[in-house]
């Protein structure tokens, strides 16, 4: 830990992230008086923070006139309803008397419930529920909206395209990159020489290095964005980690050679009666266990890290009556600092683990088996 604290850039970055998150947490409005005061409200806020949303809500505050002001910006809502494609900005959602967010567009009423958009039935003015709190006069629509997670994916994709296109141009003009390319080059070489080459082999590693580089930088940058107060939690969304795992699954499934499939479906060197049992286990491992381990490890670690950090920051809210405002804030800051410092390292570690396992699975599929 002493060695880590000697790195000023890492410490300053962690302090900056932590101070922003702490200030925005204190200014959030989840209770109906506009402040987060109770443990239940804190829990709701933390769960809300890690979920996807149709807009960016950074923080809220009460002005001198006692009115709540919300700071953020809307995102495009794109849905397919019974009347076709409908688009509008998320800022059009407003609260009705029952507290639900509704909007009228394309001759249809839409309501947002728990971050999901429903289409109200013809003639319905508000959403109604049954005894299990399920909507009775509304049904879900196909949602193609640009949510926070989608916006984050597009943003990181654009940044990666600009950065690596610039690095490629520098390599064409000269052998040594300059500027930001000097930051990217050692990471590119590390993924190539320490992950792709030893796990896939000298003959085939170049074929898959591009994918491994894309996955590594994509996950790493999104993990770092998830630590900022912008509310990005892309790699903490199960759908995103599942999609990444499926990409790896598709690659090693279709690139697997005869030896790979032969060892999976009819294991050589073992008794014939045991081979069908081993085939079932191997198929389950290739199509279920391997992808599941990829998606769950990334999703669980990133989500758990966000919850822990936000929970420690919440100490200054939930324990200020027992410890006093200064004591609770000091304890919250110290604990949150060290956890956030670890989370900065975990952001890199999880990108490394996902890339390493992907390279390992691909290497197992394309490895040449020599039989004597």
pTM: 0.84
Domain that includes residue 289, residue range: 148-366
The pLDDT tens digits of the residues spanning 171-227 come to 888 778 888 888 899 999 999 999 999 999 999 999 999 999 999 999 999 998 888
Final residue belonging to a domain, choices 94, 117, 143: 143
For residue 27, pLDDT over 60 is answered with no
d(CA 72, CA 58): 5
d(CA 38, CA 41): 5
Would you state the pLDDT for residue 77? 92
Residues 344, 10 contacting (CB under 8 angstroms): yes
For residue 30, pLDDT over 50 is answered with no
d(CA 88, CA 84): 13
The pLDDT tens digits of the residues spanning 138-183 come to 888 999 999 999 999 999 999 999 999 999 888 888 778 888 888 8
Domain count, the chain: 2
> Quick one: which of 317, 268, 365 has its CA closest to 39?
317
Final residue belonging to a domain, choices 143, 177, 212: 143
For residue 7, pLDDT over 60 is answered with no
Q: Where are the alpha helices (DSSP H) in 141-203?
A: 148-173, 181-190, 197-200
102 and 221 assigned to the same domain: no
Rounded to the nearest 10 degrees, what angle do helices 325-366 and 8-26 cross at?
120
Domain membership of residue 11 (yes or no) is no
281 and 139 assigned to the same domain: no
Q: Mean pLDDT of all residues in the chain?
A: 81
The pLDDT tens digits of the residues spanning 82-129 come to 888 999 998 888 765 555 678 888 888 888 887 888 898 887 877 888
Phi, psi of 74 (to 5 degrees): -80, 165
274 and 291 assigned to the same domain: yes
136 and 157 assigned to the same domain: no
């Amino acid at each position: 830990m002493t060695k880590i604290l000697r790195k000023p850039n890492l410490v300053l970055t962690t302090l900056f992230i932590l101070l922003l998150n702490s200030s925005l947490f204190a200014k959030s409005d989840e209770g109906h008086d506009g402040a987060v005061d109770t443990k239940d409200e804190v829990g709701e806020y933390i769960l809300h923070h890690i979920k996807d949303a149709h807009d960016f809500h950074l923080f809220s505050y009460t002005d001198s006139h006692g009115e709540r002001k919300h700071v953020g910006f809307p995102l495009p809502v794109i849905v397919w309803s019974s009347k076709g494609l409908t688009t509008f900005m998320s800022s059009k959602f407003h609260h009705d008397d029952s507290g639900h967010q509704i909007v009228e567009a394309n001759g249809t009423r839409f309501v947002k419930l728990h971050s999901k958009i429903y289409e109200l039935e013809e003639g319905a003015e508000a959403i109604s529920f049954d005894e299990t709190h399920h909507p009775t006069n509304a049904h879900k629509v196909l949602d193609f909206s640009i949510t926070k997670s989608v916006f984050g994916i597009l943003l990181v994709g654009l940044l990666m395209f600009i950065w690596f296109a610039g690095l490629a141009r520098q390599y064409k003009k000269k052998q040594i990159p300059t500027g930001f390319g000097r930051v990217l080059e050692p990471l590119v070489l590390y993924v190539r020489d320490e992950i792709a080459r030893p796990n896939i082999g000298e003959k085939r590693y170049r074929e898959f290095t591009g994918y491994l580089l894309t996955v590594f930088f994509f996950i790493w940058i999104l993990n770092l964005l998830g630590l900022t107060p912008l509310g990005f939690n892309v790699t903490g969304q199960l759908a995103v980690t599942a999609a990444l795992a499926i990409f790896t699954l598709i690659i090693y499934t279709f690139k697997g050679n005869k030896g790979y499939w032969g060892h999976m479906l009819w294991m050589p060197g073992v008794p014939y009666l045991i081979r069908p049992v081993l085939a079932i286990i191997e198929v389950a491992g290739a199509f279920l266990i391997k992808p599941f381990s990829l998606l769950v490890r990334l999703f669980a670690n990133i989500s758990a890290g966000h919850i822990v950090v936000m929970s420690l920051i919440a100490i200054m809210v939930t324990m200020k009556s027992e410890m006093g405002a200064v004591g609770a804030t000091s304890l919250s800051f110290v604990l949150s600092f060290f956890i956030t410092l670890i989370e900065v390292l975990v952001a890199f570690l999880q990108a490394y683990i996902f890339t390493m396992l992907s390279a390992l699975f691909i290497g197992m599929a394309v490895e040449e088996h020599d039989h004597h």
